[in-house]
Structure 1
Amino acid sequence: MQTEIKNTLEILKRGGLILYPTDTVWGIGCDATNPEAVKKIYKLKQREDSKALICLVADDRMLKKYIKRIPEGALNIIDISEKPTTIIYDDAQNLATNLIADDGTIAIRIPDDEFCYQLSRKLNTAIVSTSANISGQPTPKSFKEITPEVLKGVDYVVNLHREKTCNKPSSIIKLSNSGIVKIIRV
């Protein structure tokens, strides 16, 4: 795993795109603070840049770098969730501006995956994580289902967990600073 982390870090630091296994599905990723890299993801996915992307962070300490004020209960939700849960937070900061939604929100997950944890920790920044498909196409459930267009569109494909069938995408909860909780995806 350390060799894969080293190789992946080199690509991310150069503004490249990676294809990598997460705690949910295979993802296309980049340094979430690099607007040019984020632009490349939108282009590869053929997705409007008005549709926000999810980010992964290593832990709650790192989460605090990207959210001005973490709502009460957010960390409890993360701790007690039985499945991967992405939370949409108000008042995003310190991320590529083209990654933040028009309303100032950002979707962030702390993954339960050693590779993702180590990668984010060693890069010391959030990593974009969007499903490894072209917009409108089905999310691949395994590495074998990833289209050649996506495979050729990234700068590095992580050589881990390629045999594993991935889980469903994460649950998504919008947790506003005003205390309103909205379930987006179960």
Structure 2
Amino acid sequence: MMPNLPRASVTQCAAIIACGGLVLYPTEGVWGLGCDPSNEAAVRRLLALKQRDEAKGLILIAGATAQLDAWVDWSSLDVEQHARALRTWPGFHTWIVPCRQATPTWIRGRHDSVAVRVTAHPAVATMCSQFGKAIVSTSANLATKPSPLHLREVSAEILAGVDAICEGETLGYTSPSQIHDAASGAIVR
């Protein structure tokens, strides 16, 4: 089913996120849902739309490493652990990093860490830049369903719950980003 919402520009999507809205957008491999991670109401709306348990935590995606500084405690990693993550960015790799004490449970879930990525998708990087900080990035599917590789695979329930669909397409990867533990380097997903 194709969406009734018109495609919005990256600039329009950044403004919608800034106003507390939910945006459907292409990432490297799948279509994602995003919002302002510091807006509790927006995040809770996103979690309810996905039917996702808050305890699992969410991924934050950024256009630049500095946009993650408010959320992660880089000082808890040694130089090599930090460098290992930085070498993969911008890119298709998400890293689980210890979070700052102020990181709310609606982002970190039951963890003392947060999953973060500096995206290689130019439109998403620009959206984060125009928004001025990282955004939530979770696949645009109901919690029990597969991640959508194409816009046509996004369910009617998800489409009905977003405020905009960002122009663009995925970068063609065939899965969500790979997730690594920053302390060990181990692949988690």
User: For residue 62 of structure 1, what is the amino acid of its counterpart?
Assistant: Q
Distance in 2 between the 1:82 and 1:127 partners?
15
Question: Is residue 2:178 matched to residue 1:171?
Answer: yes
**Aligned residues of 2:14 and 2:128 also touching (Cα < 8 A):** no
Q: Please tell me the root mean square deviation across aligned C-alpha atoms, in Å.
A: 2.2
Greater relative contact order, per chain length (Cα 8 Å cut-off, separation 6+): 2
Equivalence for 2:100: 92
Residue 144 of structure 1: aligned partner: 152
CA contact (8 A) 1:21 1:158 kept: yes
Among 6, 10, 15, the residue aligned to 1:10: 15
Tell me the number of residue pairs that the alignment of Structure 1 and Structure 2 aligns: 179
How far apart, CA to CA, are the structure 2 residues paired with 1:125 and 1:106? 15
Aligned counterpart, 1:24? 29
Change (3 A) 1:49 1:67: same
1:183 match: 187
Q: CA deviation at 1:130?
A: 0.5
In structure 2, relative to structure 1, the CA distance for the partners of 1:56 and 1:140 (3 Å cut) is: same
5+ residue gaps, structure 1: none
CA offsets per residue over residues 58-80 of structure 1, 9 Å max, x none? 11222223212252333333424
The runs of at least 4 aligned residues of structure 1 exceeding 4 Å deviation read 80-83, 93-96
Shift of 1:158: 1.2
- CA 1:83 to 1:62, structure 2 compared with 1: closer, same or farther past 3 Å? closer
Match of residue 153 from structure 1:
161
What residue number does 1:128 align with? 136
Counterpart for residue 4 of structure 2: none
Structure 2 unaligned blocks of 5 or more: 1-7
User: Given the two structures, how large is their TM-score scaled by the length of structure 2?
Assistant: 0.85
Kept in 1: contact 2:23–2:166 (CA 8 A) = yes
* TM-score, normalization by structure 1: 0.86
Looking at structure 1, the residues matched to 105 and 180 of structure 2 have their Cα atoms a distance apart, in angstroms, of 22
Helix, strand or coil at the partner of 1:56:
strand
The answer to whether structure 1 residue 57 and structure 2 residue 62 are counterparts is: yes
Task: Report % sequence identity.
Answer: 29
On the 8 A contact 1:92/1:100 being kept in 2, the answer is: no
